[in-house]
Structure 1
Amino acid sequence: TWGGPMKHAFAGALHLAWHRRAERFGGGRSTGLKALDLTDRSAPLGVEKPKDFTWNQLLGFDACVQCGKCEAACPAFAAGQPLNPKKLIQDMVVGLAGGTDAHFAGSPYPGKPIGEHGGNPHQPIVNGLVDAETLWSCTTCRACVEECPMMIEHVDAIVDMRRFLTLEKGATPNNGAQVLDNLIATDNPGGFAPGGRMNWAADLNLNVMRDTPSVDVLFWVGDGAFDMRNQRTLRAFVKVLKAAKVSFAVLGLEERDSGDVARRLGDEATFQALAKRNIQTLAQYRFKRIVTCDPHSFHVLKNEYPAFGGEYLVQHHSTYMAELLAAGQLNVSADTGGSVTYHDPCYLGRYNGEYEAPRAVLRALGIEVKEMQRSGFRSRCCGGGGGAPITDIPGKQRIPDMRMDDIRETGAERVAVGCPQCTAMLEGVVEPRPLIKDIAELVADALVEPAAPVKATQRAPEEVIA
């Protein structure tokens, strides 16, 4: 690295000219993590030392102007966890220069004094420049990246360092190692028996892809299949699909975890194994699109599977329901359940730019959304992404409690969500709180069966259990 008053101007210009995600300059979104080449045994598994970062990542660190926008947006920093994205980037600059953080004039990592860390380009980052718990505090929400005027990719850098800790050191904290073992042994993070993946739908008579020549929609269930609360969301969405007379099927017992949490925890090997097996399974079947209720699965299938040959039309269920409503395929009554605010999931909003479809669905139900101050691309994370509930780094307060404070400020009686992680985190707030409802549940509750024409020979319509 190098100094002088013009450092940021020169480094910033070079960083933007050779940005590792050039697609961002064309108005598109490039948010999928870069794959590690696991076939090259000489290649490093993640980043151990400052010199291990790519040259354009290093340029990005030098481009930091210390404006503090990332710090102000970071949910972990606000919660008092030991992460400040601005200081993290500056610590990488210090490491490249072979110095210490003694002269850092900004906010420290919460709970961590300034002046006790230092290093050089050839020394390990963890326990030299930063503590491991700093890296594990990140929820990968990308609020820092969204706010950064220099387009620095903080999350990429954090996951690169996590990869080294997980793959080379086996140092994933708290429940991380158990979750990764579960994914290897049972194809799901909870370690549930794979044969129980479809128990939630035992009475729904769903089509399974292996018995179906082709369908319009492959419904990707995700690991909500093992969670009693999110099973209600899955059943609600099935009710919506049936009401719209959509041709759909599920993978059933052939579905495996998408690999999202493994990749965010730094276990690229387990992620790639899951991804490749899922891609092999999907290649056997004919469908027009994949639809899922889980933004994390949506993101991985849409943006990260293509690197391994899996290219599909993938939609979040809110987007698909908005299309069904606009096409007149769903007959719904006006919602009368009380006022609603909407929580934007990070992996649907900041990662994939979908803010309008969920709101369009709510408008179609006659709901006027009471927006939170932090909504849209500035939505506060629920705290459930990036494996954060698994690594469980303590702070002064819980991120979901902070988000619930945002919700209470609106005075809304209900919170519409579109993510199983968000549902779990917000329902985990123990204080009195509004009712949490997935968008699919709101639509299912509003469904009106179309009036059947009166015919002497007509049979009563078959009841759909949901």
Structure 2
Amino acid sequence: MLDTLLPILIFSVLALAAVGAVRRVRLWRQGRPARVELLKGLASMPRRYLVDLHHVVARDKVMSNTHVATAGGFVAAAVLMILVHGFGLAEGVLGWLLLLTSGVMFVGSLFVARRRRNPPARLSRGPWMRLPKSLMAFSLGVFAITLPSVGLLPEGLLAGTGGVLLAFVLLLVVAWGLAEMLIGMGWGGPMKHAFAGALHLAFHRRPERFSTRRGGEGRSTGLKALDLEDPEAPLGVEKPADFTWNQLLGFDACVQCGRCEAVCPAFAAGQPLNPKKLIQDMVVGMAGGSDAQYAGSPYPDRPVGEHQGSPHGPIVAREGKALVDAETLWSCTTCRACVEECPMMIEHVDAIVDMRRFLTLEHGQTPGKGAEVLDNLIATDNPGGFDPGARMHWAADLELPLMSQRGQAEVLLWLGDGAYDMRNQRTLRALIKVLRAAGVDFAVLGDEERDSGDVARRLGDEATFQSLARRNIATLSKYRFERIVTCDPHSFHVLGNEYGELGGDYAVSHHSTFIAELYDAGRLDFRAWKGGRVTYHDPCYLGRYNGEFEAPRNVLKALGIEVAEMQRSGFRSRCCGGGGGAPITDVPGKQRIPDMRMGDVQETGADLVAVGCPQCTAMLEGVVDSDAEVRDIAELVADALVEGAPSSTPGPASTRQPLAEEVA
């Protein structure tokens, strides 16, 4: 009986799965065209899955091993099941391998069941709660029907009335498992992520994220530029179909694990954003319908079931129901914690900024002080609306060398718009003191420097960003320098990672990295730290965006400081709340993000929190009920300098070796 019915069942399920796959592909292809490398992407998919994806999954060792056993066992068992029971190739080693792989899958499914017995709040429930049973049904059913094929059970066991009944039960169990595992991949259900996820890895929006070395060390964090010269090109994303097709594919790959939800600062603060829900809303929009079936945590203070959309309907409606509220998009700080934690490597921030671009460029719907800041950038080249000619007033007594007078220098010091802020001027003064103590040949642009455009771009005003960037690039092209150094991670990121598309390729260093190099080259000498307990706050745009975690800590170590690490530090550092224009749009929540971060500081017992970003300084110093002092690394270094040390003798670049050679 099974010899006849099993092949029919298997190939019928495969046919339905193929129809579902075509249907799913058509949903993705509603999106705009995107250039991908078809064959190279498919060829790279196994490595991206086994190395890059599992580099993220492996942060939870138990779930990593569970996933290897369950997913690996399923893929191997499915292929072997087709060969053994579909084509009747049970002789030899194939039948035994099928027993082994289905057994491994069953063991993995037990751990999945344990995980789902009392799941954490971040995990979606609903259909996902039946997944352990479906995994067990597939693995146990395949295991049982294979036993007679390898001679471990007599063939006559399935004969007679009792045997036929047993065979029918086994057939139903296998059909249950096959339906969930294979048909569900294309028609919807928990296993949808397996099909979409594999192709998402092959045709990822950012293939440069994937490493050619073991460990998944690829990095790609710069926003993609809009083509403002093409009148047919959309200015941002108004409706789901405006996303590129591989972005829609990426949304469909979401496994609803909620890792993004668990690390999102806006969600923790009670603002109306949950990155997992946002991605699921985009899937709803792609297929059409409402969010009534969503079985995870909602947006704070936003009930499930009140949002709906369609592929060609607006994502954010000016009137009536839509997929998301505008406040959801403006709550994001663009910290990339969600992207860093996503095991499927989905690009949440890209999607949010794409949708912001439409609201800003097409409708001028930038909330809070957003419109005022953008107007200031257009009129005065700085977000505060200050007189551009006053950029250097704070440094009148420092006699800073100007590029317009020098023409070239070893280092171009990028001041950033912190030059207009009295608090950040202290950091800049400290950094200048350090550079002079190390004998660095540096110069500044002075009044020729404009805002880097970071705020404009994150607020969705691509036109203003590109205008600022092109004018800065034109100014920089007039001078010769080896690298740009800045104490602002946002300028550091934009200059180093986002100007390239517009023709500006520069070597850019954060001041902590440069100070660490100067110390290693023997050009700085410090007195030992005699202060209290110190912790360090990782800026998002330095750490997660650019992978610089060690240099600031090395500088603090050189000062004799043993850092008391916060629980959320390094790539899992909590955002200060100052990025992405969040302080400008100012969407209210139940608490403030910087208050939560200073709570993390308080847990360490630190008297001082070292920072490396002017926005982090402003946000953390704004917490009124904290006793911890906030100081930039440059200030700590400047205070610790040993005056008159041999390394502090300045000199022109022509008389010294380049820094890279000194370090080497």
TM-score, with normalisation over the residues of structure 1?
0.96
SS in 2 for 1:249: strand
Counterpart residue type for residue 443 of structure 1: V
| Shift of residue 339, structure 1, vs aligned partner | 1.3
| Shift of residue 450, structure 1, vs aligned partner | 2.5
1: CA distance, partners of 2:645 / 2:503: 46
Which of 540, 545, 549 is the aligned partner of 1:355? 549
Which of 198, 223, 229 is the aligned partner of 1:13? 198
Q: What is residue 460 of structure 1 aligned with on the other side?
A: none
Describe the shift of the 1:103–1:368 C-alpha distance in structure 2 as closer, same or farther (beyond 3 A).
Answer: same
Counterpart residue type for residue 89 of structure 1: I
Which sections of structure 2, spanning at least 5 residues, go unmatched? 1-26, 28-185, 212-216, 647-664
Q: What is residue 375 of structure 1 aligned with on the other side?
A: 569
SS in 1 for 2:580: coil
SS in 1 for 2:201: helix
Q: What is residue 257 of structure 1 aligned with on the other side?
A: 451
Q: What is residue 377 of structure 2 aligned with on the other side?
A: 183
1:64 and 2:64 correspond? no
1: CA distance, partners of 2:228 / 2:588: 33
| Shift of residue 319, structure 1, vs aligned partner | 0.2
Describe the shift of the 1:451–1:291 C-alpha distance in structure 2 as closer, same or farther (beyond 3 A).
Answer: closer
Contact 1:404 1:433 in 2 (8 A): no
2: CA distance, partners of 1:39 / 1:451: 55
Cα deviation per residue 1:76-101 (whole Å; 9 max; x = unaligned)? Answer: 00000000000000000011111101
Q: What is residue 327 of structure 2 aligned with on the other side?
A: 133
2: CA distance, partners of 1:139 / 1:100: 27
Contact 2:453 2:469 in 1 (8 A): yes
Q: What is residue 201 of structure 1 aligned with on the other side?
A: 395
Please show how residues 117-266 of structure 1 align to structure 2 within 5 Å. Answer: 117-127=307-317, 128-266=322-460
Q: What is residue 388 of structure 1 aligned with on the other side?
A: 582
SS in 2 for 1:156: helix
2: CA distance, partners of 1:213 / 1:71: 49
Q: What is residue 101 of structure 1 aligned with on the other side?
A: 291
Cα deviation per residue 1:413-454 (whole Å; 9 max; x = unaligned)? Answer: 1000000000000000011320000000000000011258xx
Contact 1:207 1:249 in 2 (8 A): yes
1: CA distance, partners of 2:532 / 2:518: 24
Cα deviation per residue 1:30-64 (whole Å; 9 max; x = unaligned)? Answer: 00000000000111100000000001100000000
User: How many residues are paired up?
Assistant: 452
Cα deviation per residue 1:92-131 (whole Å; 9 max; x = unaligned)? Answer: 0011111101111111100101110001001000130000
2: CA distance, partners of 1:391 / 1:436: 24
1:300 and 2:501 correspond? no
When you count helix as a share of all residues, which structure comes out higher? Answer: 2
Cα deviation per residue 1:180-205 (whole Å; 9 max; x = unaligned)? Answer: 00000000000011111011211001
TM-score, with normalisation over the residues of structure 2?
0.68
| Shift of residue 213, structure 1, vs aligned partner | 3.0
Runs of 4+ in 1 over 2 A off after TM superposition: 1-6
Contact 1:331 1:450 in 2 (8 A): no
2: CA distance, partners of 1:314 / 1:384: 22
Q: What is residue 42 of structure 1 aligned with on the other side?
A: 232
1:85 and 2:268 correspond? no
Larger Rg: 2
SS in 2 for 1:288: strand
2: CA distance, partners of 1:4 / 1:344: 40
Which of 372, 382, 406 is the aligned partner of 2:600? 406
1: CA distance, partners of 2:408 / 2:257: 53
Superposition CA RMSD, Å: 0.8
SS in 2 for 1:88: helix
Q: What is residue 110 of structure 1 aligned with on the other side?
A: 300
Q: What is residue 4 of structure 1 aligned with on the other side?
A: 188
- Once the two structures are aligned, what percentage of the paired residues are identical? 79
| Shift of residue 20, structure 1, vs aligned partner | 1.1
SS in 1 for 2:498: helix
2: CA distance, partners of 1:43 / 1:260: 22
Which sections of structure 1, spanning at least 5 residues, go unmatched? 453-466
SS in 2 for 1:125: coil
Counterpart residue type for residue 90 of structure 1: Q
1: CA distance, partners of 2:467 / 2:187: 44
2: CA distance, partners of 1:8 / 1:435: 46
Q: What is residue 455 of structure 1 aligned with on the other side?
A: none
Please show how residues 305-324 of structure 1 align to structure 2 within 5 Å. Answer: 305-324=499-518
Q: What is residue 463 of structure 1 aligned with on the other side?
A: none
2: CA distance, partners of 1:296 / 1:403: 19
1: CA distance, partners of 2:258 / 2:278: 12
